A and B are shown apart, each in its own frame.
Chain A
Amino acid sequence: MIINKETITQLAAVQKRLDGRKLHDYRQPLLIETDISWTAEGSARVQIGETVVMAGVKLSLEKPYNDTPDEGGIMINVELLPLSSPDYEPGPPSIKAVELARVVDRGIREAQAIDLKKLCITPGEKAWFVTIDIMSINDAGNLFDAAGLASLAALKSAHFPVVDEKTGAIDYKQKTEKSLPLRKEPLPVTIYKINNSLLVDPTREEEETAQARLTVASDAKGSISAMQKGGEEPLSIEEVSSIIDLAIEKSAFLRQILTKSLQ
């Protein structure tokens, strides 16, 4: 709706938003629920306002890649379900789905969040591979943060399945007490720029209005593991540094909610 876009732009200049929130407020309810699926080793459902995302972690035993014979691996897939938004269609992943998967993947991979060496069982032969599947249940904006939060919650709730020592077969119906070797907990936060104001947690209309966005994945210590710029307009160095400060502050806020929900 072009009318609403114009209004969003005008309001952003005076630090206001269409839904009455402050620029740096997340929508409510912000809910994180884990262990929602018994077929996955770890799973989570994240709700930010009307946006709902589900993530599942599957573990399988595979042969390690030739260049890293002593490491396991991670893989992240995103599916934007047609029912979650009128813009999504069935078929091969769209550019948006690929970008979302890669941004979440890079946040976790580049932070070396999972100790891949500990996933190796026999070097060159057998290692655990982690697959995270992310699905949009309802897209009301800000899938980046929701997907990142859901993947981390799913990883934290994951437990290894029981492996038969003689045959090597995996019994997915039984879970051990052992959880994934997580070293860091990166969370992506996406900051949008509209009319020279920076805001978090956009609605769909705000996403469409935004001139630029920057996703910053940072861990509990505030060290940055990955960034991704989107949108048509450039960002100045001052803007990038204030975005990073804001992103680290907001990732601490999300981390606090995640810790509270997992207790």
Chain B
Amino acid sequence: MSIVVNERDIVIPGEALAEGLDFLPGDNTYRENEKIYSKVLGLVSIAGRVLKITPLSGPYIFKPGDKIIGEVIDILMSGWRIKTGTAYTAMLSMQDASSRFIRKDEDLSRILAVGDYVVVKVTKVTSQNLIDVTMKEPGLHKVNGGRIIKINSQKVPRVIGKKGSMISLIKAHTNCDITVGQNGLIWLRGTPEGEQLAAEAIKIIEQKSHQEGLTEKMEQFLVSRTGKKIENYMPEESSE
């Protein structure tokens, strides 16, 4: 009747977390013969009686409402097929891509060509992982200029930070536009030096994602590189 791990311990799949019925299995855990085991490699988090594991690696799982970045890989009869960096491709239909009227004989590659990158939002995920996305909401668009980097999708929450604190910090110090896709693709646009610094900072966050007080460490890093401290980098109303 006891717990055998501590908060923020790193556990491997099959590792026993707790014994007895006092605790409940949460995300990425399962119960077998009165013991709770981990399903994944990750960090333990204990919320009251519920045991959860925050995974350190693994594929991106689609959720409706997620903003992702993808590459157009095919033009279909009435839309585009989008590569998402996972095992599944997404479908962007014509009415979800543009708000203007598209004529019957129009060349779809003039709107989105193969190889273009798009920031889209997941609208529907079926049990068979057929994914529909839209580009019609504010903040969704075709990617122009800048650069795209790829990180482990499980680290995306750390790159954004609590209420967007981390991403605002990087934006303020590097003067870059940064769009983070939940699938781990990140689009940066600013000066070449700013983009370079932002990419470097994001790579550090990806590596040190399990450490505590990362925002303060990143602030130190960015201040030491840019040579100027910026107070109140948080925007009034966070959009992330």
Q: Are B146 and A3 in contact (CB-based, < 8 A)?
A: yes
A11 partner residues in chain B, CB cutoff 8 A? 192
In the complex, are the beta carbons of A2 and B192 less than 8 A apart? no
CB distance from A256 to the nearest CB of B (A): 28
Are B115 and A2 within 8 A (Cβ)? yes
A3 contacts B117, C-beta separation under 8 Å: yes
Contact between B117 and A7, CB atoms less than 8 A apart: no
Q: Does residue B132 face the partner (Cβ distance < 8 Å to A)?
A: no
Flag A1-39 by CB within 8 Å of B: 1 or 0 each: 111101100010000101110000000000000000000
- CB of A202, distance to nearest CB on chain B (Å): 16
**Which residue from B116, B146, B187, B196 sits with its C-beta under 8 Å from A2?**
B116
Interface check B138, CB cutoff 8 A: no
Contact A19 B146 (CB under 8 A): no
- With both chains docked as a complex, state the minimum distance between the C-beta of B82 and any C-beta of chain A, in angstroms: 14
| Contacting pair B147 A16 (CB below 8 A) | no
Which single residue of chain A is at the shortest CB-CB distance from B185?
A1
Interface size on B, residues (CB 8 A): 14
Are A20 and B117 neighbours in the complex by a CB distance under 8 Å?
no
Check B145–A3 contact: CB distance below 8 A. yes
Q: List the A residue with the shortest CB-CB distance to B69.
A: A3
Q: Max chain B CB contacts within 10 Å: which of A1, A6, A11, A19?
A: A1
Is there contact, CB below 8 Å, between A2 and B145?
A: no
Q: Answer whether residue B140 sits at the interface, using C-beta atoms and an 8 A cutoff.
A: no
CA distance A3 to B146 in the complex (A): 7
Number of CB contacts from chain A to chain B under 8 A: 29
> How far, in angstroms, from A18 to B192 measured CA to CA in the complex?
7
Chain B 99-139 interface mask (CB, 8 Å, partner A; 1/0): 00000000000000001110000000000000000000000
Measured between alpha carbons, how far is A20 from B203 in the docked complex, in Å?
15
Q: Which residue of B lies closest to A6 (CB)?
A: B145
* B117 partner, pick from A2, A18, A19, beta carbons under 8 A: A2
Judge whether B148 and A4 touch: CB under 8 Å: yes
Report the bound CA distance from A1 to B145 in whole Å: 11
Are A1 and B146 also in contact (CB < 8 A) when A20-B193, A20-B196 are?
no
- With the chains together, A156 CA to B117 CA distance in Å? 47
Contact (Cβ within 8 A) A16 B192: yes
Indicate if the CB atoms of A1 and B148 lie closer than 8 Å: yes
Q: Known: A1-B71, A1-B117. Is A7-B146 also a contact (CB below 8 A)?
A: yes
| A4 to B192 Cα, complex, angstroms | 12
For the complex, is B143 an interface residue (Cβ under 8 Å from A)? yes
Most buried by B among A2, A3, A6, A11: A3
A1–B186 CA distance with the chains assembled, in angstroms: 12
Specify the chain B residue showing the minimal Cβ separation from A20. Answer: B196
Do residues A7 and B145 form an inter-chain contact, with CB atoms below 8 A?
yes
Cβ B148 vs Cβ A19 within 8 A: no
Q: What is the CB-to-nearest-CB distance from B126 to chain A, in angstroms, rounded to a whole number?
A: 27
In the complex the two chains form, what is the Cα distance from A154 to B67 in whole Å?
A: 50
Q: Which residues of B contact A19 (CB under 8 A)?
A: 196
Q: How far is the CA of A16 from the CA of B147 in the complex (A)?
A: 14
Contacts of A2 in B (CB 8 A): 115-117
A104 to B148, CA, bound (A): 34
A2 CA to B117 CA, complexed, in Å: 8
| Smallest Cβ-Cβ distance to A4: which chain B residue | B147
Q: Determine the residue in chain A with the shortest Cβ distance to B150.
A: A1
Question: What distance in Å separates the Cβ of A258 from its nearest Cβ neighbour in chain B?
Answer: 29
For the complex, give the distance between the alpha carbons of A58 and B183 in Å.
46
Cβ-defined contact, A3 with B143, below 8 A? yes
Over the window 180-218 of chain A, the binary record of Cβ atoms lying under 8 Å from chain B Cβ atoms (1 yes, 0 no) is 000000000000000000000000000000000000000
A3 x B196 contact (CB < 8 A): no
Known: A1-B148, A7-B145, A7-B146. 8 other contacts (CB 8 A): A1-B71, A2-B117, A3-B145, A3-B147, A3-B187, A4-B147, A4-B148, A19-B196
Would you give 14 A-B contacts (Cβ < 8 Å), ordered by A?
Answer: A1-B117, A1-B148, A2-B115, A2-B116, A3-B143, A3-B146, A4-B148, A7-B145, A7-B147, A16-B192, A18-B147, A18-B192, A18-B196, A20-B193
Residues in B lying within 8 Å of A, measured CB to CB: 71, 115-117, 143-148, 187, 192-193, 196
Chain A interface residues (CB < 8 Å from chain B): 1-4, 6-7, 11, 16, 18-20
Which 10 pairs of residues, A with B, have the shortest CB-CB distance?
Answer: A2-B115, A20-B196, A7-B147, A4-B147, A16-B192, A3-B117, A3-B148, A1-B148, A3-B143, A11-B192
